[in-house]
Amino acid sequence: MARIGLFFGTNSGSTRKIAKQIKKRFDDETMADPVNINKATVEDLLAYEFLILGTPTLGDGLLPGIEAECDDESWAEALDKFKGTRFAGKTVALFGLGDQDTYGHEFVDGLVLLHDFFQDAGAKIVGAWPTEGYSFTESQSVVDGRFVGLAIDQDIQPDLTAERIEGWLKLIAPDFGLSL
């Protein structure tokens, strides 16, 4: 079994595409294929010591799910199901998608919702990412001057995505026991 689990929530498919880009960087022994969180159980996540979790931010800074008017369940419902589960001993890195132009007042706010849930459940969160190179007015996902995970803007800065993914993977590599 792979050492790293890769789970994502999505509405339009963009977060899935980023998860696939991350997976391409690793062999099957290192990282499992990406799994949509609406097809995963808490046991699926608990099977891994290391987790990479991705989410978009939807209207009013929400996680994807029925409440955010998505067609399918996603992170919002998964976190409800995961309540009470301990993730102690797990190392978690987060990535989030947002649009800093149209939604600059809540850029990648969904990231902090995942961050807080998994941190409160005992996980070690790694992969805080610098805010330099972005143009947004506010983000709840900025803590101590850094995003709580990798921020991706496929709408305004798609040309920076590959470089940002590579830099972020190098950043989390020591915590995940990887050599890149």
* Phi, psi (rounded to 5 degrees) for 18: -65, -40
**DSSP state at residue 140:** T
Which three-class secondary structure string do you get for 27-83?
A: CCCCECCCEEHHHCCHHHHHCCCEEEEEEECEHHHECCCHHHCCCCCCHHHHHHHHC
Interval 56-82 mean pLDDT = 75
Q: What is the CATH number of the domain that holds 45?
A: 3.40.50.360
Q: What is the pLDDT of residue 165?
A: 97
Model confidence at 1, pLDDT cuts 50, 70, 90, reads low
Give how many domains the chain has, as a whole number.
Answer: 1
Q: Say if residue 90's pLDDT is above 90.
A: yes
> Residue 71 pLDDT more than 70?
no
Q: What is the pLDDT of residue 73?
A: 64
Average pLDDT for residues 102-110, to the nearest whole number? 88
Contact 131, 90 (CB under 8 A): no
In whole numbers, what is the pLDDT of the chain averaged over residues?
91
Domain that holds residue 129: 4-176
Residue 116 has pLDDT above 70, yes or no: yes
- pLDDT of residue 66 exceeding 70: no
